[in-house]
């Protein structure tokens, strides 16, 4: 019995192995692959493809959620097939997305013309009015209302080009020389000053230096002149042989007949030379180099007479309005006299300009003071420096094109009765003001 049972068990085992072999043969015939054999990790240098944050070096890994590790065999990895070229008649269906500046990592520039307008406001007595806000001002450019972008009431440091007239008469020149020591008292350590002088031609005495430096009084001392003698010319009559006399004697032999004045019954009287336009232009060129954030001021002490300049009034005014420069002045001599100073503002044909400083100050938004005595001239320095420093500053964005170089008029109004507003009449756009 035991032998039969062992034989039967052995037969069952042989049948089991036979059925397993048949199953393996059937599985190989059906094409089912075996389990993947374990492979070693490849070095990092074998990785290829773009590296994307959060995905890795293989673009296909993100789709399956698994990182594919290349084989460690010595054969180089197979390169991906190139993408098919798009058809010629293919049209883009969706518009391109504009990335934000943060994604691009660049700065977008916008060309905007910001116009700065210094404004002085006075009451009916000529005193400065303080306490105004931006709501009290309205600015119009070429008749169009311009909203204010910035408004400042803080005092600005001054860059002053001080221009001294040396063609004054000797008595007026003496008072001007005595008053020059009071200039530094009107300025602060934050200000800077350059000194110019003119008679027959302009001259730069010193470039810009600190207003409280020891160089300023030394240069002012060298700038003092005696002036010219106020002589009485004769071009006819028994004294016409020498048309300018001093104590009964001829002042200059060149003025006699047959010399520079010519000959005949009437002698040509030489004209006085006052190159005021050239001096203001030279000061303006030096001021145009000063950085932004400073108030550009030309301060002239003169009688305002103009004759013999190479630069015309129109050209100098355009240069001032292009570079945002204001002209302030203290009138002395004949132009400071009551009545006569007002008449000197009118120009007679074929004569010299007796007072052009009034036009410069009115058109550039500056101020004017008339003084005859020494004490008044010294006080005018402090008064004008205070007014130039304490101006309201209005800033707006012009609606005109930045590529337009035509003149643009400015009209500043204050919504309060009984106040006088002093500002520049307009400007010419400059590439330096484009931001």
Both 222 and 240 in one domain: the answer is no
**pLDDT tens track for 233-271:** 655 565 555 656 666 666 665 555 555 555 555 556 667
**pLDDT tens track for 314-328:** 999 999 999 999 999
Tell whether the model's pLDDT for residue 86 goes beyond 70: no
- Residue 96 inside a domain? The answer is no
Mean pLDDT score of the chain, rounded to an integer? 77
What does the pLDDT read at residue 409?
94
Q: Which of 360, 362, 304 is nearest to 334 (CA)?
A: 304
**Which of 50-59, 152-161, 318-327, 386-395 has the lowest average pLDDT?**
50-59
Both 264 and 328 in one domain: the answer is no
Both 408 and 360 in one domain: the answer is yes
Contact criterion met (CB below 8 Å) for 395 and 149: yes
- Residue 47 inside a domain? The answer is no
- Alpha-carbon distance of 361 to 284, in angstroms, equals 14
Both 195 and 325 in one domain: the answer is yes
Which strands form 192-199's sheet, in the order they lie side by side?
201-210, 192-199, 158-165, 295-302, 326-331, 368-370
Mean pLDDT of 8-24: 54
Tell whether the model's pLDDT for residue 369 goes beyond 60: yes
Domain boundary among 271, 299, 328: 271
Both 255 and 331 in one domain: the answer is no
- Residue 111 inside a domain? The answer is no
What does the pLDDT read at residue 62?
45
Mean pLDDT of 326-350: 75
Both 245 and 365 in one domain: the answer is no
- Residue 198 inside a domain? The answer is yes
Phi, psi (5° rounding) for residue 77? -65, 145
For the chain, how many structural domains are there in total? 2
> Which distant-in-sequence residues (6+ apart) come within 8 Å of 37 by Cβ?
none
Tokens in use for 68?
């594919």
> Which distant-in-sequence residues (6+ apart) come within 8 Å of 334 by Cβ?
303, 340, 341, 344, 354
Both 364 and 282 in one domain: the answer is yes
Which percentage of the chain shows pLDDT scores above 90? 39
DSSP, residue by residue, 243-289: SBEETTEES-GGGSTTBTTB-SSSPPPPPP-B-HHHHHHHHHHHHTT
- Residue 140 inside a domain? The answer is yes
Both 254 and 307 in one domain: the answer is no
- Residue 402 inside a domain? The answer is yes
Both 244 and 342 in one domain: the answer is no
Contact criterion met (CB below 8 Å) for 47 and 57: yes
- Residue 158 inside a domain? The answer is yes
- Residue 408 inside a domain? The answer is yes
Which position has the token pair 């010193």? 206
> Which distant-in-sequence residues (6+ apart) come within 8 Å of 40 by Cβ?
72
Both 184 and 256 in one domain: the answer is no
Query: Cβ–Cβ contacts within 10 Å for residue 9, how many?
Result: 10
What does the pLDDT read at residue 13?
47
What does the pLDDT read at residue 112?
59
Both 234 and 258 in one domain: the answer is yes
Domain boundary among 248, 271, 294: 271
- Alpha-carbon distance of 120 to 358, in angstroms, equals 16
Both 192 and 248 in one domain: the answer is no
Structural domain that includes position 338: 116-227+272-433
Phi, psi (5° rounding) for residue 277? -60, -45
Query: Cβ–Cβ contacts within 10 Å for residue 186, how many?
Result: 22
Domain boundary among 271, 288, 323: 271
Residue 306: which CATH number? 3.40.50.410
Does the pTM surpass 0.85? The reply is: no
Altogether, the residues listed in the chain come to a count of: 435
């Amino acid at each position: 019995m035991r032998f039969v049972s062992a034989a039967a068990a052995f037969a069952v085992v042989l049948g089991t192995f036979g059925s397993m072999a048949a199953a393996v043969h059937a599985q190989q015939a059906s094409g089912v692959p075996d389990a993947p054999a374990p492979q070693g990790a490849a070095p990092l240098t074998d990785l290829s493809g773009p590296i994307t944050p959060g995905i890795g070096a293989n673009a296909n890994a993100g789709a399956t959620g698994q990182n594919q590790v290349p084989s460690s065999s010595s054969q180089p990895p197979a390169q991906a097939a190139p993408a098919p070229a798009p058809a010629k008649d293919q049209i883009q269906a969706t518009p391109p997305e504009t990335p934000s500046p943060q994604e691009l990592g660049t700065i977008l520039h916008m060309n905007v013309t910001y116009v700065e307008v210094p404004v002085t406001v006075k009451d009916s007595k000529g005193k400065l009015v303080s306490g105004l806000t931006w709501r009290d001002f309205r600015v119009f450019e070429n008749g169009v209302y311009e909203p204010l972008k910035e408004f400042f009431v803080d005092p600005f440091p001054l860059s002053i080009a001080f221009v001294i007239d040396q063609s004054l008469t000797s008595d007026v020149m003496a008072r001007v020389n005595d008053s020059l020591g009071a200039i530094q008292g009107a300025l602060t350590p934050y200000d800077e000053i350059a000194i110019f002088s003119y008679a027959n031609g302009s001259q730069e005495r010193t470039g810009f230096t600190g207003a409280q430096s020891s160089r300023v009084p030394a240069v002012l001392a060298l700038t003092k002149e005696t002036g010219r003698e106020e002589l009485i010319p004769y071009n006819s009559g028994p004294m016409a042989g020498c048309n300018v006399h001093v104590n009964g004697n001829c002042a200059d032999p060149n003025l006699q007949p047959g010399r520079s004045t010519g000959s005949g019954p009437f002698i040509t009287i030489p004209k006085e030379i006052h190159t005021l336009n050239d001096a203001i232009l030279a000061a303006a060129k030096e001021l145009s180099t000063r950085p932004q954030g400073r108030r550009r001021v030309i301060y002239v002490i003169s009688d305002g007479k103009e004759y013999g300049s190479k630069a015309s009034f129109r050209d100098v005014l355009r240069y001032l309005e292009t570079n945002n420069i204001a002209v302030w002045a203290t009138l002395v001599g004949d132009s400071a006299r009551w009545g006569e100073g007002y008449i000197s503002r009118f120009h007679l044909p074929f004569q010299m300009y007796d007072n052009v400083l009034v036009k410069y100050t009115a058109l550039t938004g500056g101020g004017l003071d008339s003084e005859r005595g020494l004490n008044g001239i010294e006080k005018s320095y402090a008064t004008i420096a205070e007014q130039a420093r304490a101006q309201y500053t209005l800033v707006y964005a012009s609606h005109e094109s930045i590529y337009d170089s035509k003149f643009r008029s400015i009209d500043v109004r204050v919504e309060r009765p009984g106040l006088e507003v002093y500002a520049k009449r307009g400007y010419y756009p400059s590439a330096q003001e484009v931001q």
